[in-house]
Amino acid sequence: MTMPVPPLSAVGPAAVPSPRGWPLLRLGFRPFYLGAAAYALLAVPLWIALLQGRVSLTLTVAPLLWHAHEMLFGFAVAVIVGFLLTAGKAWTGLATPRGGPLAALALLWLAARGAAVFAPYAVYAALDLLLLPLVAAVFIRLLLRAGNRRNLPIGAILVLLALANAAFHAAVAGFIGIAPVRALHAGLALVVMIECVIAGRVIPAFTTSALPGAKLQAPRLLEQLTLGGTAAGLALWVLAPAGGFTAAVLGTAAALHALRLWHWKPLRTRARPILWVLHAAYAWLPIGLLLLAMSQLGAVGASAGVHALAVGATGGLVIGMITRTARGHTGRPLQASRLEVAAYLLVAGAAVMRVVLPLLAPRQLNVWLVAAAAAWALAFGLYLFVFAPWLSSTRLDGKDG
């Protein structure tokens, strides 16, 4: 007696759930990575043009505050939201917003960016204040439903980011008596803490997967000291008067990050651009913290440390993560193309031109600013050229997401 042959629909690739809906709205990384890259391409050159008086534009806040706020709560937050709405699904096995709800979140982010230029301040503030609480609520609810308590601290940081953003707008509006830049420093500190947590998981994991047999995880005590010391140092930087104690804590945190990175064996990744970009970007964390420590003593301006963390660490980790995770989640090989490597080098070059060269040749600051902005914009332009078609189309393997 012969066994019946199962229908084709029951075997092989057809057993995989079919894709649903417009590809751009199937998973959070798609619209938010695309939006973040496009905003990085446009906003930084616009800022330099405003700074040099080449463009006249009426903004709802002072141009310097607009630039700093939008790079944090426009660009960086978009990447964080896209990453967490994608990773949350993998971490919990539960569905994250897609289709109409995901479109609403992306349009809310986009509306706030436009309102900064075209709408009254109250409209800009109202739109800008909505996204983070909504995403935090979605993310935390997802974790609680799945019993995933390990990632709840990331949800707590999202809530704190929303509070920092609220403090910024309240300060600008005169509702609270703090300088708006202090709230922006708090926002940068929280973004850095997210990077410390996520990088501590993905960099050794990604590196181990490419270098089988390598033991790369830093000792648990070092991990705890690094995260605790960084949180303490950044909190002092934001909240306490400048002084030697804050400098010492920040300097200690910088040394801990350097030791943590050394445990990940960065030199062994030099033949793998999709790995070394993450190691190279992470190296800017100890550099940035050390520069902040030096600024507490008056040795350098605070801008050097801020931009080491914002351009070097954040920009570098962003370009590395949005290429790798987008490749993985569109069913493509985890191998960077030449254009992606060029984008990595351009962001790294932008960091050097924005942080290092102004310290070495401050009289040429305008030259370095223009060159850094051009390199930054070109890097994210290359990302859009390569990835926009992929983010807008179905996965190569036919899977949903």
Taking only the tens place, the pLDDT of each residue in 266-278 is 999 999 999 999 9
pLDDT of residue 16: 52
- pLDDT tens-digit readout, 182-208: 999 999 999 999 999 999 999 999 988
- pLDDT tens-digit readout, 78-123: 999 999 999 999 999 999 999 999 999 999 999 999 999 999 999 9
Q: Is the pLDDT of residue 13 over 50?
A: no
The verdict on residue 401 lying in a domain is no
CATH for 181: 1.20.210.10
pLDDT of residue 210: 78
pLDDT of residue 216: 78
Give dist(CA 210, CA 97) in Å, integer.
31
Q: Is the pLDDT of residue 2 over 70?
A: no
Segment 57-86 shows an average pLDDT of 96
Both structure tokens of 306 = 């801020």
Q: Is the pLDDT of residue 143 over 60?
A: yes
Q: Per-residue confidence at 74, pLDDT binned at 50, 70, 90? A: very high
pLDDT of residue 56: 85
What CA dihedral angle connects 147, 153, 159 and 164, to 10 degrees? 180
Q: Is the pLDDT of residue 1 over 60?
A: no
Q: Per-residue confidence at 209, pLDDT binned at 50, 70, 90? A: confident
Q: Per-residue confidence at 15, pLDDT binned at 50, 70, 90? A: very low
pLDDT of residue 212: 72
pLDDT of residue 60: 87
Q: Per-residue confidence at 211, pLDDT binned at 50, 70, 90? A: confident
Q: Is the pLDDT of residue 3 over 50?
A: no
The verdict on residue 396 lying in a domain is no
Q: Is the pLDDT of residue 7 over 50?
A: no
The verdict on residue 350 lying in a domain is yes
Q: Is the pLDDT of residue 394 over 80?
A: yes
Give dist(CA 55, CA 48) in Å, integer.
9
Q: Is the pLDDT of residue 131 over 70?
A: yes
More confident of the two residues 375 and 6: 375
pLDDT of residue 4: 41
Per cent of the chain over pLDDT 70 is 95
pLDDT of residue 58: 85
The verdict on residue 94 lying in a domain is yes
Both structure tokens of 386 = 């390569």
Provide the residue range defining the domain that includes 86: 21-391
Q: Is the pLDDT of residue 163 over 60?
A: yes
The verdict on residue 5 lying in a domain is no
What CA dihedral angle connects 57, 107, 86 and 194, to 10 degrees? 40
In the three-class reduction of DSSP (H, G, I as helix; E, B as strand; rest coil), residue 136 is classed as helix
Q: Per-residue confidence at 6, pLDDT binned at 50, 70, 90? A: very low
The verdict on residue 9 lying in a domain is no
Per cent of the chain over pLDDT 90 is 88
Q: With beta carbons less than 8 A apart as the criterion, state whether 34 and 91 touch.
A: no
DSSP string, 346-396: HHHHHHIIIIIHHHH-GGGHHHHHHHHHHHHHHHHHHHHHHHHHHHTS--T
Segment 318-328 shows an average pLDDT of 97
Give dist(CA 30, CA 106) in Å, integer.
10
Instruction: Work out the mean pLDDT of the chain and round it to a whole number.
Output: 93
Q: Is the pLDDT of residue 331 over 60?
A: yes
How many structural domains are present in the chain? 1
Determine which of 5-9, 318-322, 333-337, 369-373 has the lowest per-residue pLDDT on average. Answer: 5-9
Q: Is the pLDDT of residue 39 over 50?
A: yes
DSSP H or E stretch at residue 190: helix 180-210
Q: Is the pLDDT of residue 162 over 90?
A: yes
Q: Crossing angle for the helix pair 99-118 and 29-51, nearest 10 degrees?
A: 10
The verdict on residue 153 lying in a domain is yes
Residue indicated by tokens 């990575």: 33
pLDDT of residue 20: 77
The verdict on residue 379 lying in a domain is yes
pLDDT of residue 17: 60
Q: With beta carbons less than 8 A apart as the criterion, state whether 80 and 198 touch.
A: no
